[in-house]
Amino acid sequence: MKAKTLFDKIWDGHVVRSIEDGPDVLYIDRHYIHEVTSPQAFNGLKERGIQVFRPGNTIATADHNIPTKDQHLEIRDQLSRNQVERLSENCTKYGIELFGLNHSKNGIVHVIGPELGYTLPGMTIVCGDSHTSTHGAFGTIAFGIGTSEVEMVLATQCILQPKPKKMKITVNGNLHKGVTSKDIIMYIIASISTGGATGYFVEFSGSAITSLTMEARMTICNMSIEMGARGGLIAPDEITFSYLRKITAIPGVTDFEKSLEQWKELKSDPDAAFDRELEFDASLIKPMITYGTNPGMGMAVDSSIPLTDGDNKEASASFLKSLDYMGFKPGIKLLGQPVDYVFIGSCTNGRIEDFREFAQIIRGRKKAANITALIVPGSKKVEEQMASEGLMEVYKEAGFEVRQPGCSSCLAMNEDKIPAGKYAVSTSNRNFEGRQGPGARTLLASPYTAAAAAITGKISDPREFITELNNVKK
Amino acid sequence: MAKVKFDILESTCVSIPFENVDTDQIIPARFLSATSREGFGDNLFRDWRYKKSGEPNEEFILNNPKFGGKILVAGKNFGSGSSREHAVWAIFDYGFRAVVSSFFADIFMGNSLNNGLLPIVISDELLKKLHSLIQKDPSTKINIDLEKQLFTILSTGDSVKFVINPYKKECLLKGLDDIDFLLSMKDSITGYENNKNMVR
Ligand code: SF4
């Protein structure tokens, strides 16, 4: 038999039918939905007079549009409230399980899916949100879809998709102190640009990847979309299995050991061919930060903004426009640049480990006076964990207030906006113009780098604050 | 859904040459709270189109009455970022029927085809030429023949064949809908479910 990649194995096992000269009809095991990209899909069902085909395969949450303060009160913004209410109505009407606002398991869709055991190795997973790629960390084919496709999946549990090409990215070597999985993925995106993996599904491998925890792996797969990839995945291994073993009741899994036997088969054959292969050396990676308005415009925190983009001799108009928006000049260093906001949260870095890392640096120190911090757990469960591990006190003593879970300032649909012209070091995934509010200037970084900025009030090298050796989980 | 038929389109164009225009520029997140598909065109490129005061920004091309048409000529790497279909709805609702670039993000491309907006990829060189032609002469017209997959700049005669998935082409030409197609396969889908060697 022909050698297959993990991606091929999962994909081929889910093809209901291949259309000649067209896309495959792909069966979807798990469908996540949220309030922003689902209402028009439900309207479509209604217009057609049809039901949800397999309501049990769909899980819903409210996350994008909800406030992160006073969640028990009615949502003030009328449009947002309407959207969240419509989600509840639709879930009730069509029999879909909803972890909505104020539910004890509410949270960002890509945080709660894995932590509640809905994301399992070998699955096909879609959601009307591009960072669905996060779930690939469990050895799944997971990708973001548009609302028309949400409607397709609701109506038929299938989606029409052309099969993407396959890329393998290997990262070998040891990470230095203070360097996290966020830095790995930002480094890769800066190397290959935001379009570098367009048309591909990426499998990540190598010793620097397999030594990462599940949380750290999710950060990598989460941002694989930022290099244009359809998604990213990592073969499941003992780290994956022990993460899953800790979940008390995995929905749909009655015999864990039997499932485990099947999950263990999920890997690329040794001689499987990829359309493209890239290799990186983890020991060359330093803490990263972005200086422009797309995630490809990133560099080591202690280096200088390049004079031109890519191999160009002259800076392009788009490059200069981007720097102009950020208020930066080509060639300058960013260390010491004053910062106004720090945001820790989102489906990229809103998990318990991220808050532990942030705490590692702020413990025993104080928030800088010029900093407004938005500290937003990815889910209720993360919030509870923070409390039980005593992190809430650490944050409080350092002068930080912890908000309630949600997407918050990652996309600024709610009130958590960064004002025009202000600088925010953010652990989220996109530094687009206006992403965190009209005119807001976003600098993407890891929780360590965000913490260093939060206590110094300026862009700082987090390595200076990490004294405890061997305490680096990621 | 793609119930819109697409045949031959001949129109003037609007040139927005910036590279790496992401979905947050096309439609900022704060306008995503609606629960229907209509009306997003009003907020297309919102933060470029309007000043902070809310006044239209005269310098932005959509506010320049000299330029108009049903074809949006964009810069390289258009539509990256979020999966929000609202970006495509906004472009369509504004009145565009085709968008031209030398490179599109995957999800944007799929969303466009699902909503009757034709994404056309041309070479970097031709794209550059086209931008300067339009900027010099707003009456520059393009002919898009979907059946023949031909893209022609009428004033210069430059004509190139563009690529489109044959299935999607068929859907656009006939105004077919993916969901109707999938619904007609319900038996195969149930059959698949019954046979599936559950990976879990
Ligand atoms: S946290 Fe940000 S990227 Fe993640 S789902 Fe929410 S809005 Fe999307």
CATH of the domain at A229: 3.40.1060.10
CB contact under 8 A, A318 and B179: no
Q: Does B83 touch chain A (CB under 8 A)?
A: yes
Question: Does A330 map to a domain?
Answer: yes
Both A100 and A178 in a single domain? no
Both A157 and A202 in a single domain? no
SS (HEC) of chain B: CCCCCCCEEEEEEEEECCCCCEHHHHCCHHHCCCCCCCCHHHHCCHHHHECCCCCECCCCHHHCCCCCCCEEEECCCECECCCCCHHHHHHHHHCCCEEEECCECHHHHHHHHCCCCEEEECCHHHHHHHHHHHHHCCCCEEEEECCCCEEEECCCCCEEECCCCHHHHHHHHHCCCHHHHHHCCHHHHHHHHHHCCCCC
DSSP-derived 3-state class of residue A419? coil
Partners of B120 in the β-ladder? B100
| pLDDT band for position A241 (cuts 50, 70, 90) | very high
Question: How many whole angstroms separate alpha carbon B137 and alpha carbon A11?
Answer: 49
Both A223 and A315 in a single domain? no
Residue B2 has pLDDT above 70, yes or no: no
Write down which residue in A127, A162, A197 finishes a domain. Answer: A162
Q: Specify whether the CB–CB gap between B88 and B94 falls below 8 A.
A: no
User: How many contiguous H segments (helices) and E segments (strands) does chain A have?
Assistant: 16, 18
Both A223 and A313 in a single domain? no
ipTM, interface predicted TM-score of the complex: 0.89
Both A183 and A91 in a single domain? no
Both A185 and A51 in a single domain? no
Q: What is the pLDDT of residue A310?
A: 83
Residues in contact with A93: Cβ distance below 8 Å, sequence separation at least 6, in sequence order: none
Pick from B4, B15, B106, B168 the residue to mutate for testing the A interface (most A CBs within 10 Å): B106
CB contact under 8 A, A156 and B166: no
Question: How many whole angstroms separate alpha carbon A219 and alpha carbon A209?
Answer: 11
Tell me the CA–centroid distance for residue A417 and ligand 1, in Å: 14
Both A426 and A332 in a single domain? yes
Q: Does B15 touch chain A (CB under 8 A)?
A: no
Question: Does A194 map to a domain?
Answer: yes
User: Could you give all domains of chain B from N- to C-terminal order, each with its CATH number?
Assistant: 8-199 (3.20.19.10)
Question: Does A255 map to a domain?
Answer: no
Residue A120 has pLDDT above 70, yes or no: yes
- Total domain count, chain A: 3
Question: Does A241 map to a domain?
Answer: no
Residue A436 has pLDDT above 60, yes or no: yes
Question: Does A220 map to a domain?
Answer: yes
Q: What is the pLDDT of residue B200?
A: 39
Q: Does A141 touch chain B (CB under 8 A)?
A: no
Average pLDDT over residues B149-176: 94
Helical residues (DSSP H) of A70-118, grouped into ranges: 78-94, 109-115
Residues in contact with A445: Cβ distance below 8 Å, sequence separation at least 6, in sequence order: A182, A186, A287, A288, A289, A290, A301, A425, A426, A427, A453
Average pLDDT over residues A299-306: 98
Both A85 and A195 in a single domain? no
Q: What is the pLDDT of residue B185?
A: 92
Give percent of chain A above pLDDT 90: 93
Question: Does A439 map to a domain?
Answer: yes
Task: State the CATH number of the domain containing residue A300.
Answer: 3.30.499.10
CB contact under 8 A, B36 and A156: no
| pLDDT per residue as tens digits for the range B104-122 | 998 899 999 999 999 999 9
Q: What is the pLDDT of residue A314?
A: 84
| pLDDT band for position A216 (cuts 50, 70, 90) | very high
Nearest to B20 among A130, A199, A318 (CB): A318
DSSP-derived 3-state class of residue A277? strand
Average pLDDT over residues A270-278: 97
Both A391 and A461 in a single domain? yes
Give, using CA atoms, the residue closest to atom 4 of ligand 1: A347
| pLDDT band for position A472 (cuts 50, 70, 90) | very low
Q: What is the pLDDT of residue A473?
A: 47
CB contact under 8 A, B34 and A79: yes
Both A50 and A117 in a single domain? yes
Question: Does A471 map to a domain?
Answer: no
Most confident of A221-235, A308-322, A457-471, B164-178: A221-235
Average pLDDT value for chain A: 95
Ligand 1 pocket by Cβ (under 6 Å): A 63-64, 108-110, 129, 131, 346-347, 407, 410-411, 428-429
| pLDDT band for position A467 (cuts 50, 70, 90) | confident
Q: What is the pLDDT of residue B142?
A: 97
Residue B198 has pLDDT above 60, yes or no: no
Residue A416 has pLDDT above 80, yes or no: yes
| pLDDT band for position A454 (cuts 50, 70, 90) | very high
| pLDDT band for position B38 (cuts 50, 70, 90) | confident
Question: Does A133 map to a domain?
Answer: yes
Q: What is the pLDDT of residue B197?
A: 56
Residue where the block lists tokens 């604050």 = A465
Atom of ligand 1 nearest to the CA of A345: 1
CB contact under 8 A, A433 and B25: yes
Question: How many whole angstroms separate alpha carbon A428 and alpha carbon B59?
Answer: 32
Lowest pLDDT segment from A195-209, A373-387, B170-184: B170-184
Residue A470 has pLDDT above 90, yes or no: no
Residue B183 has pLDDT above 60, yes or no: yes
| pLDDT per residue as tens digits for the range A23-42 | 999 999 999 999 999 999 99
Both A133 and A196 in a single domain? no
Helix axes B106-113, B166-174, angle to 10 degrees: 30
- Concatenating the DSSP letter of every residue in A197-246 gives TTTEEEEEESHHHHTS-HHHHHHHHHGGGGGT-SEEE----HHHHHHHHT
Nearest CA distance, A344 vs chain B (angstrom): 19
Residue B80 has pLDDT above 80, yes or no: yes
Work out the number of other CB atoms within 10 angstroms of the CB of residue A71: 17
Work out the number of other CB atoms within 10 angstroms of the CB of residue B39: 12
Nearest to A40 among B18, B36, B192 (CB): B36
Write down which residue in A162, A189, A217 finishes a domain. Answer: A162
Q: What is the pLDDT of residue A474?
A: 44
Range of the domain at A294: 288-465
Both A146 and A17 in a single domain? yes
A414 versus A110: which is more confidently predicted?
A110
Residue A69 has pLDDT above 70, yes or no: yes
Residue B1 has pLDDT above 70, yes or no: no
Q: What is the pLDDT of residue A468?
A: 56
The DSSP 8-state label assigned to residue A265 in this structure reads: T
Question: How many whole angstroms separate alpha carbon A355 and alpha carbon A392?
Answer: 10
Q: What is the pLDDT of residue B4?
A: 75
How much is the pTM?
0.93
Residue B138 has pLDDT above 70, yes or no: yes
